[in-house]
Structures are given as structure tokens and as C-alpha cells.
Amino acid sequence: MSTASRALNNRGDVSESTRRRVLQAARELDYVPNSLARGLLSGRTRTVGVIVTTILNPFYAAVVAGIQDVLGAKGYNVVLYNSDEDQRKELAAVEALIAQRVDGIILAPVQKTPETVELLVNRNVPFVLVGRTILGLDTDYVVCDDIAAGQIATEHLIRKGHRQIMLINSSRNSSSELRYQGYAAALRANGIEVDSRLVRSVVLHTDAERAVLQALDEGIRPTAIFCFCDAMALGVMRALRARGLRVPDDVALVACDNLDFTEFLEPALTTIDVPKHEMGVKAAEVLLSKLHKHKKRTTQVVLRPSLVARAST
């Protein structure tokens, strides 16, 4: 057994002739080493758990693709879980991953409480947050500079001459809070007051349409709208059409994420490109460096968003 093991793993202490005999026998028997036994012995499984809110969101699909590109190339397996923004599901996923003895976890955390992250810290499981952070916790993370995203979008609109700029935001998570800050900062830097009636938060993406209709029907007349994400922009565009407002002539529109379909909308949507794939890549790289170099200090990666100007502004 030990000789066979050495032969199969090129460990030396095996004569060339026996090595060949072992390899031949392995082929004949369709031998595939058992990762479970290997993992049990070594304590390492070459498996990483990934938890996102839902893979149905193309944003996270891109992040996961980036993660897989890096980890797959290094021979790591990816176990995928969806939290559906549900704290309990997230916790259950982490427990399952710990039971599986994954080497590490990449997590887009649900925002309510830091419970899950604390569990990871307590159990000493290497992990990296992606896309979202838990405020006030010193962890590894990879995010986009959401303040900059808000600023870039808002400044773009201001440069186009707009001063009545509505913000359709997502309900509070780390990104939406920061994008609001960027929005507000850009307004103030240009001598424009933040008008709270122009700022709306919605829980579900599908509520964006209703929020805009409601605002318009209250008599509010923005000349431009900055919208938290592309998915919400679809509803915003529909609401504007429903009230006979043309984009960009009557209302300019800029969103965020730069999902694939935005380019093909009519009018093509101006949006802030968030480097989704790269966020996945970086998160995987940070995790790998934790796994291999046993780094103790935490790493924070903040990626720059960029404006993609199209016809909607």
C-alpha cells in the first residue's frame, strides 16, 4: 500500500519498474483516489464554500464565476450555497460547510446581524467577505468603492446640467448606505442641497417601479434619477414610460452594476460598472493567500467602479 501510494504521488523511494506496475494496475482497476480519506488524514479538503444571497442575481453569478476561475485553476472545488437574504439559511450553510471541513469560505453576508461572521471567527475558519462588509468588524473583504460609485454617477448627472436628482436606493445594506453617501457628497460638493423627498428606499427590486410612480404622482419632478442597480432601473424605466416621460429627454437615468442586458436596452442604459468578476477573482486570491501563507493580518481590497456612459443620460 505504501509503495503504491508513493508511486501514484511521485514521492520517490520507488523503483522505476514498480512505479510502472503500480500505474498500470491503477489504470486497469479504474483507481480514483478517495478525497474523503485523503482529507481525513491531511485535514485539508481543497474545497471552498461560497455563500451568496442568490445565484439568480447576475451580479453574484459573475462574482461566483470569478471565484471559480481562480479556484478551479488551483484544483479547488467550490460548494455553493444560497442564503436568500435569510440569516438562518446563512447560518445553516456555514454549519454544513464546517461539518464538511472546507478549507475556507467566501461569503456575501446577510446584513442583519454579525452572528454568522462571529461563528466563523470563533471556529477559526478562514473566510473572506465579498461585495458587502460587516461594519465595525476587522475582517478580510473585497468590495467595490460604493461611495465612489455614488459620486461618479451623481457627478455625471450634475455635469449634464441636472440639479433635481432623485435617488432610488435599495433598503439598507452596506452598499446602499455608501452609495447614498457618495450621492450626497457629490451634491454638496456642487452646492446642491440633499432633498429628502428625492431619496427613496425600496426593499425588493420589483418595488422600484412603484416607488417612482408614487413619487411622480406626488408631483415630484426630478430631471434625473440615480438608481441603485440595473435590475431596479428596468422598473424605473417602465414607470417613466407609464407616465409619458422619455429617457433621456425628460428624465436622465443612471444605474449601477453594468449587467449584460443594459447595453441592449432602448435607450441603452448609462450605468456604473462594478468589477463583479474581478471581485470574485480577488476574493479567491485573498482566501488562497490566507490558506497557503497562514497570513494573520487581514486584507481589504477596494475596487474602483467606472462610468459607462450610454444613451440614457
Partner DNA sequence: AAGCTTTCCGGAAACCTTTCCGGCGATCTT
Partner DNA sequence: AAGATCGCCGGAAAGGTTTCCGGAAAGCTT
Closer residue to a second copy (CB): 302 or 309? 309
Q: Tell me which stretch binds a second copy (CB under 8 A): 2-10, 218-226, 263-271, 295-303.
A: 263-271
Is residue 190 a contact residue for a second copy (CB under 8 A)?
A: no
Q: Which of 37, 260, 266, 294 binds DNA (CB under 7 A)?
A: 37
Residues between 39 and 98 that touch DNA (CB under 7 A): 40-43
Q: Tell me which stretch binds a second copy (CB under 8 A): 16-24, 96-104, 146-154, 289-297.
A: 96-104
At a CB cut-off of 8 Å and minimum separation 6, what does 127 contact? 104, 105, 106, 107, 117, 120, 139, 140, 287
Closer residue to DNA (CB): 8 or 61? 8
What is the C-alpha separation between 281 and 64, in angstroms, rounded?
9
What is the C-alpha separation between 191 and 301, in angstroms, rounded?
32
What is the C-alpha separation between 212 and 220, in angstroms, rounded?
9
For cell 440615480, name the residue.
226
Give 297's DSSP letter. S
Closer residue to a second copy (CB): 10 or 34? 34
At a CB cut-off of 8 Å and minimum separation 6, what does 312 contact? 247, 248, 252, 253, 254, 265, 267, 268, 269, 270
Is residue 9 a contact residue for a second copy (CB under 8 A)?
A: no
What is the C-alpha separation between 161 and 241, in angstroms, rounded?
22
Is residue 24 a contact residue for DNA (CB under 7 A)?
A: no
Is residue 135 a contact residue for DNA (CB under 7 A)?
A: no
Query: What are the cell numbers at 281?
Result: 477573482
Is residue 16 a contact residue for DNA (CB under 7 A)?
A: yes
- Interface with a second copy (CB under 8 A): 30, 32-37, 39-40, 45, 47, 54-56, 58, 61-62, 64-65, 68, 72, 77-82, 95-96, 98-101, 122-123, 231, 234-235, 237-238, 241, 260-261, 263-266
- Interface with DNA (CB under 7 A): 1-6, 8-9, 11, 13-18, 31-34, 37-38, 40-43
